[in-house]
Structure 1
Amino acid sequence: MFAKAFRVKSNTAIKGSDRRKLKSDLLAAFPSLSADDLSELVPNKEELNVVKIYAHKGEAVTLYVVHKNPLFFEVEKRLYPTVYVLWRCPALLPTFTTWPPVLQKLIGGADLMLPGVVVPPCGLPDVKQGDCCAVTLVHNRAPVAVGQASVSSAEMQSLGMKGRGVCVVHTYMDSLWAFGDKSCPPCVPDENDEHRSYKEECEVSEEEEGAKVEVEQSLEEQHTASESITKQDYGGIEDLSLAEKEEEKSEEGDEKEEENQEEQETPQALMDALLLQCFMHALKTRVKKSELPLLTSTFLRNHMFSCCPSGKQIDIKKSSYKKLSKFLQAMQQQHHLVRVKELTKGVESIVEVDWKHPQLRSFVAPEETDVEAASVCDEVEGEISYHPPEITTIYSVSARLELLFLDANKRKGATMNPTEVRSLVTDYVKKNDLVVEHNKNFVTVNPVLCDCLLEKSEYQEVETLKWDDLFSRTLGRMQVCHQVVFPGKAPITKKGQIEPIDISVASRGSNKKVTLIKNLELYGLDPAAVASALQHKVQASSVLHPVPGSKDKVLVQIQGNQVHQVGTLLLDHYRIPNKYIQGLVKAPKSMKKK
């Protein structure tokens, strides 16, 4: 949720009554929180600010800040502690332990997968689906992430520790952590470490074997000095322990200097480096001599974008070049790697590549690490496993019809599908002998049917009803509802018909067209994921906006009239039925040659 920067809406001091309400809410949300800890976290006489923000996906979040450190945040009326609180109260939440290399993936926005969870000798913590929990690293009880349990601990074991374990909402080193004093996790030794042998530390399951290889050296060092976790466990983010050997200290010191240099680099310099890497990668592995001359726009879209490492995105506007033409001009004049020529007025093409250039020949295409490959695999599987929800129309018993369904014990507000309504009405008619003897197609209207189904003007006139009229009147006087069932989740029932995915085209400054998409959340679609897919498909910029008057809806805006491409993505890839998509008729019509 906080992997990217958020936008601050307001920052105000909390009132005394709201401070007391916050304390009561915290005690209700975290029963293990003692009164002394609560008084220390939320002091009575010190300033406590309420900061309202919008996350990068549009979620409305409320932060509670003391001494410039966010201590708790509230999302959809649910309170979560930040890592700053958990470092002071490590036992506040049930915790899952993972390997240090996984931390970088959590910081990047990934969830904690069950194969990466280290099961302690005492077993997994007892959690239910949706419970708030924390994530720690091996040999340190200081939490580094907060999230919700995707499934219960019993289901985790029944699934063979495969699949998603914790849906992470906040991590150490994310933008919410950066909103505070940016302190590092303390060293809180695990109580079980003193009683654990080295052999037990090295025994891991087959699923954890890949992670074990990456941290084997770290485990050996921790075995010799297990009093506290070394800062190396955090992937080289902090300084190394002074107890390490001099040789390792000098080698790691060099690596740290390189990392510090990278951190000091500006985002513009990082984007320049990414452009150069993708450019060299594309020339080395993608472009063939037979393709020349090659349009520069095609080179960027079909070759450079596909060479971009997972988790990163090329944005030329954020580089020092600002335009593709200036970047290619630099590659031509400074590096002499390519020759760009304007074959058609206003359209540039790459006409020549120096395949024997030393810089190009010495370039080695980067390979994804095992952790990155696993993360990409999880994302691909997540897309493939998406199934559209099952949407059915159901009916709710109104106060007027309560007498009709009284024998079936269906009170006001009870929901039924049309078949069930028809069956219960038929049972009522037969139980009360209301079928007309000389004509079985008609039903006698008794006082109950009269009050429930007839208008006042019909009381003296209508004595019988046809079966079809009886059923249609019954359904017509019930509250229309819809039920949405996502695979593996409980049904969601709401009043009224479900809103369709709305696709519209609007004009912005200088008569530029933009395509707007809303109501994606109702069908289980992530607006950010849809925007990213469209951005790569049509090579146009996209923006997410919160829908005015709604707390949990996000509007996707993409440049140009992309109705046809949006419709293709929703119908073919996500398999959303056509009847639940509105606005496909606004797609631009293809021009026919005369």
Structure 2
Amino acid sequence: MFARQFRVKSNTAIKGSDRRKLKADISAAFPSLTADELSELVPNKEELNVVKIYAHKGDSVTLYVLHKNPLFFELEKRLYPTVYVLWRCPALLPAFRTWPPVLQKLIGGADLMLPGVVVPSSGLPDVKPGDCCSVTLVNNRAPVAVGTAAVSSGEMHSLGMKGRGVCVLHAYMDHLWAFGDKSGPPSLPEAEGEGQEVNGEDYEVDDTEEEEEEVEKCEEEVEEEEEQQTPGEKVTDQACSGVEELSLAEQEEERGNEEEEANQDDLKEIMDALLLQCFLHALKKKVKKSELPLLTSTFLRNHMFSCCPSGKQLDIKKSSYKKLSKFLQAMHKQHNLVRVKELTKGVESIVEVDWKNKELRYFKVPEETGDEASPVQDGGEAEPPYHPPEITTLYSVSARLEPLFLDAKKRKGTILQPAEVRHIVTEYVKNNELVDENNKNYVTIDPTLCDCLLEKSEYQEVESLKWDDLFSRALGRMQECYEVVFPGHAPVRKRGHIEPIDISVASRGSNKKVTLIKNLDVYGLDPAAVATALQRRVQASSNLQPIPGSKDKVLVQIQGNQIHQAGNLLIDHYQIPRKYIQGLDKAPKGGKKK
């Protein structure tokens, strides 16, 4: 679950009542913990943080963090300990032992396979499917992974120790471990120093030949499972037992660290260059003298981000400057381009720009730039381009109007386009010779038209109608429907009005305003992608909230009154017609540029 980088949604200190509830939940989930151990894990007077994250597959996970180390993580209302807790309390969970080289597979996200399990002389721990358990390495009782049992202990034996044993959720050296202080496991010698049993056979730790046999068994097991799966479902990184030279693994790890550091330096240089490009572009084409003094935050949000080339993402934190203030100071010292001053305490503004600066004058604006950097998913791949759907208003034949459509063989419930309705009504009028001879703009009302289109009070008074009135009455008495066509998908037809994208402002604690955006999914928009794009525009925190009373639907929440920016994003970037967006009139008066 944590083999890839996760995204932090919020990080807050826990309240006293929530701390007591957490203690009770931990005590209920892990009854073997003593009162002293529980007090040590969750102390009363030390700061304990609650961190909400999204894993790379979208799972919502809650972390409980003490002294920067995650202690427990909550997934689907169930608590699991991290390796930091298990190193303090190694006997907290039933443990399955495996070989050290298997750890690399577990870190990569693989599950522990039964051929790789080292069975002690005392037998396997007694577990049921779904029970929380840990994974340890031979010669060290300190757990290195946490997961759930795939099958019961009895089934493991009945399966001949083949198949999946532990579904791993978290492992030493994964991204959850890296969220803490990155300490290593302690050295805890095993209680049993004698022979062990591997998959039902007597085994001596120093016996290399038998060890190699177990490696072959594991590889055969993995190959059999892969053959049974479809090509798209094959798991190539399942953990199996095998003995490799640890020195080689250490060398590879060192090389990997060196490569990672080199890559990070390269990324900083690239981001520095992009930062300078967007800075010069914004000064040359976006900022006007009349706008000075200009808040540095406004300059970044409204000018620099809009100058970022399409397909790239401007992120100051990934540059060598880390902060906008440091970057602007460097631009002043190195190039004397801008002068920044603190006009209000704690708020910096650009008060002067050297428009005659050679570097600014000779800067060439890139030909292809976009107002929005392409959203990037957690995996690092660019999000596929969004194409707005084609939305068509349709009408369903009602019971009252069915006699008018019988000649065209259209029964009640038939869905028609407006043009088809006009054509059928026109043909009915012509076939029954109802066009007024004196004025062809009028249609004479016959008994069928009278019953279908007129109110009871009009029966004796209205003898003719204009063509436009005739058509509008016909459409007004039909049930409205709509058709949505997404590129590459079959049309979807539904009765009623299509729900507009609703943008509203709500108040939170201390009279803080937040902007809420609903119904994005109706138009095929990914709420997470919209939240990320909007967050980049306004530089305010955003998150996804479930919509009460609805299944699997979420709304976007972003700090402040961002109606104007949200409307611009939906209309200009995503090409959603204005008529399908509700609430744009509630934008603050000063939000629009003049």
TM range (shorter): 0.3 to 0.5
User: Under a length normalisation based on structure 1, what TM-score does the superposition of the two structures give?
Assistant: 0.44
Higher Cα radius of gyration: 2
TM-score calculated relative to the size of structure 2: 0.44
